[in-house]
Amino acid sequence: MNQGTTIKPSQNSSLGLWSCIDAITLCLLVVAMCCQINLGDIGRDTTAEGYVTKQLKIALPDIALFMCFGWFFLRTTALRAWKKLWWPPLPCWALLAALLISILHSRPLVNAVAESIAGAENTRELIKALLTKESKEAIAETIQFAGYFLIAPLLFVNLIHDARTGTLLSRRRLVLWTFFLALCGVTLLGCWQLLRGSQAPQSWFSSPNAWAAFCTIALPLLLARLLSAKVSTVPAIGLSCAAIALLAATMVSFWALLCVLAALVAVGLWLRVPVRMAAALAVTAVLLIGFWPRQANLQPARQQSFQLKSQHEKVKKQFVEWYVATTRLANRREASFATGAGPGNYQFNIGAYYSRLPNEEKMPADSNNLFLVQAVNIGILGLGALLWMVLHFGQLAFKAREDFKDDWLAAGVLGSMTAWLLVNLFHASIVRGTGVVFAFMLALAIIALHRDREPQPEEKGNSLADWMS
């Protein structure tokens, strides 16, 4: 919120019809981001014709994000409350600037557009020539990143701590309940898929790897709440172990499982959990690592996930591509180490660098290294801006943890951010709406830091409502 603005906290749960609509749109956005339901494709599927072109997927979370922003824009304008908003910090704007610089400086992108423009004979053809496959991808990815790292944090922070009317209305409890219930829903769907057949569960996500990445990011937040619950130790231990086991049972990626366990250690250290709870969680982790690859119907896929070789090659394509991306990044002839090949142009530039390397296998869906992909796309400048943004929000969450030691939220956010940094080495999670989930975690760092602005009841009991606060 703006410094110097006097905000009156309110314990009123209802401030009229329009506030109810704000709350509903916020909850719908949170539910929508817990899936990757595809509403359509932009571009033609040419697989049957013997070649593949990149299609843009229209995911439900992206549509929900921009529809929510449309309502937020109209409502804030009607209230004349733009000056009362919290605005994304400098690193978010620096990331967007890095994407724009990459577009303008990308040699492959600029050359492709220049060649296309050369054949244009009139204004209509000129406009069409500007929209090459490279420029379309660059525009789409820039809009997507702006949505995830500018619009989404702006929406989440200002709708959770809504001060536009001059009275602070906190929806923290509501939004966390919505998120955890949505997480339970998609997890139960994943378990049903697991029991129903031999295929790897993916819930409402586009692939098992995307589902694993989502679980890795979301689980630390839930565990932080369970581990800090104001209930007896035995139920807290049981619920925590059950949550880990249930989600792990639906995950195929061994690397994602390791990231979950690493984030769990981080959350436990930040919360300083009791020794017996830590011991119970450690036993659960050991049992998971031991029995996880042996689950009958998923055994082949799981064993393959932690092997460096594949059935046909000595090194899986997932790791071969790490080398290929590094080679592309280090090529001085392309002059794109700093600014990249252009947002979204990774696939258009990586193929030529396989040459003598094996390229027969198909890359498993959502198994790219996000950091290498973005280094090729937007260069070291853009990747540095992305990591700067993550570090900035991480510092805010750490400060919130130091300032409010009795609050679990900051520890959960730090655990989720740790998991995000680790899992993106193996599963790129800024795709088809998953970026909204990470933006939600970034926004919660701000919410945790402004805990003192929320209305605090004089006494809190052990009711279900108090458990989530």
Domain assignments of the chain as residue spans, ordered by start: 14-309+363-455
Q: Report which of residues 467 and 147 the model is more confident about.
A: 147
**Adjacency order of strands within the sheet including 167-170:** 8-9, 167-170, 161-162
Both tokens of 349, joined, read 């530039």
Average pLDDT, rounded, for the chain: 83
- The packing angle between helices 172-196 and 152-160, to 10°, is 120
pLDDT confidence band for 453 (50 / 70 / 90): low
pLDDT confidence band for 50 (50 / 70 / 90): very low
Question: 329 to each of 337, 391, 426, how far by Cα in Å?
Answer: 6, 23, 18
- The pLDDT assigned to 149 comes to 96
Q: What are phi and psi of 42, to 5 degrees?
A: -105, 120
- The pLDDT > 90 percentage for the chain reads 42
Q: State the Cα–Cα distance between residues 274 and 36, nearest whole angstrom.
A: 37
The alpha carbon dihedral of 463, 467, 468, 469 has a sign of positive
15-19, 63-67, 150-154, 165-169 — which is least confidently predicted? 15-19
pLDDT confidence band for 456 (50 / 70 / 90): low
Average pLDDT, stretch 115-132?
A: 75
pLDDT at 14 exceeding the cut of 60: no
pLDDT at 297 exceeding the cut of 80: no
Average pLDDT, stretch 413-440?
A: 92
- The pLDDT assigned to 304 comes to 75
- The pLDDT assigned to 279 comes to 79
In single-letter form, the type of residue at position 351 comes to: G
Torsion-angle region of 433 (φ positive above 0: left; ψ -120 to 50: alpha; else: beta): left
Q: State the Cα–Cα distance between residues 149 and 7, nearest whole angstrom.
A: 26
For residue 39, count other CB atoms closer than 10 A to its CB: 10
- The pLDDT assigned to 6 comes to 47
- The pLDDT > 70 percentage for the chain reads 86
pLDDT at 168 exceeding the cut of 80: yes
Tell me if residue 170 falls in helix, strand or coil: strand
- The pLDDT assigned to 335 comes to 66
pLDDT at 419 exceeding the cut of 90: yes
pLDDT at 311 exceeding the cut of 90: no
45-59, 101-115, 284-298, 346-360 — which is least confidently predicted? 45-59
269-273, 286-290, 441-445 — which is least confidently predicted? 286-290
Both tokens of 183, joined, read 């997480």
pLDDT at 233 exceeding the cut of 80: no
pLDDT at 4 exceeding the cut of 50: no
Average pLDDT, stretch 39-59?
A: 60
Average pLDDT, stretch 427-441?
A: 90
In single-letter form, the type of residue at position 292 comes to: W
Which H helix or E strand runs over 265?
Answer: helix 254-271
- The pLDDT assigned to 374 comes to 94
Are the C-beta atoms of residues 227 and 178 closer than 8 Å to each other? no
